[in-house]
Amino acid sequence: MKKSDIAKNLAAIKKDLKSAHLIAVTKYSPVEDVVSAYQSSHYDFGENRVADLKEKAEYFKVQKLTKVRWHFIGHLQSNKVRELYKIPNLYAIHSVDSLSLLEELIKRESDFTGPELKLFFQVNTSHEIEKSGFETAEELAAAIDLLKSRTHSKLKLYGLMTMGSIRTTEFEAEATRCFRDLKLIAENLEKNFALKEKLKLSMGMSQDYLLAIAAGSDFIRVGSAIFK
Ligand SMILES: *Cc1c(COP(=O)(O)O)cnc(C)c1O
C-alpha cells in the first residue's frame, strides 16, 4: 500500500477517537505497511497470531524501531505462551479468554522479559458459539482473584475486551448492546473488588468503532479500515 494512504486512513480514524487509543491491526498486512504506519508516528499495533507477530516484532527490533508497542489480540493456545512472552516490545494481551489460559500465563511468567505486561480479560458478550471469552461473572471473579493474589508480578490486570456480534441483522443495536454490557461488567468488577484503577475497555473494530467510542471504549482495534 502507498504510505500516504496508510497515513490518511490513520488520520481519518484518529479525528474521531476522543479519549480512546487506536490499535492498528496488522494481521492482513506485510511488515512494510506496518513500518509505513510507524513512520507516520503510529506505535500501537495488534496481531492475532503468535508466529506472525514474532516475525514482525523481530523485524522491528532489527530495524531499531523501538517505540513500537505490540498488542496480542487473538486466541492464544497454552503451548504458544512461551513463544509469545519472548517477543520484543510485547505490551499487552487483549485476549485472555479463560482461567486455564491465565494459569498458564502465570506459570510461565519468568519467560517474559519486559518490564510489565497488561492483560485484558476477553468477555463473550455476544454469546456466539465461535467466539471465545469468559461467559460468567463468577469465572471473571475467579480470574481477578487469582491475579490479585500475586504480589511482585509483571502481569497487570488492565481491562476487559469484547467483540460485537457478527451474525445479526440488527448490527448496530447488537454491537452497542455488547459494548454497554462490557462497560457494566467492568463497573461491577471495579466496585466488587474495590479496584483502584478503572478497567480499560478494548472494544470496536473497523465496522463498529464509532459505536464503541460512543459507548466508552478506551482501545479500538482497527485493521481493514487502515490497511485495505
Ligand atoms: C482482526 C481483528 C480486529 C480488526 O478487525 P477489522 O475488522 O479488520 O478492523 C480486531 N480485533 C480482533 C480480535 C481481530 O481479530
Judged by phi (left if over 0) then psi (alpha if -120 to 50, else beta), residue 126 lies in: alpha
Tally of CB atoms within 10 A around 169: 6
Place of cell 461488567: 185
At 39, give phi and psi (nearest 5°): -70, -20
Q: Could you tell me the CA-to-CA distances from 65 to 19, 47, 93 in Å, in that order? A: 26, 17, 20
Given a contact cutoff of 8 angstroms between Cβ atoms, the answer to whether 112 and 84 are in contact is no
All domains of the chain, ordered by start, with CATH?
3-227 (3.20.20.10)
Please report, in tens digits, the pLDDT of each residue of the chain (228 residues total): 999 999 999 999 999 999 999 999 999 999 999 999 999 999 999 999 999 999 999 999 999 999 999 999 999 999 999 999 999 999 999 999 999 999 999 999 999 999 999 999 999 998 888 889 999 989 999 999 999 999 889 999 999 999 988 777 888 999 999 999 999 999 999 999 999 999 999 999 999 999 999 999 999 999 999 999
Place of cell 520484543: 88
Q: How far is the CA of 84 from the centre of ligand 1 (A)?
A: 19
DSSP at 199: P
Ligand 1 pocket member 48 (CB < 6 A): yes
Q: Residue 154's beta-bridge partner residues?
A: none
Cα-only R_g, the chain = 17
At 93, give phi and psi (nearest 5°): -120, 120
Tally of CB atoms within 10 A around 70: 25
Q: Please state whether the predicted TM-score (pTM) of the whole model is above 0.95.
A: yes
Ligand 1 pocket member 223 (CB < 6 A): yes
Ligand 1 pocket test, candidate residues 22, 23, 25, 213, most atoms within 8 A of CB: 25
Q: State the Cα–Cα distance between residues 25 and 212, nearest whole angstrom.
A: 16
Q: State the Cα–Cα distance between residues 210 and 56, nearest whole angstrom.
A: 28
Place of cell 480499560: 200
Ligand 1 pocket member 205 (CB < 6 A): yes
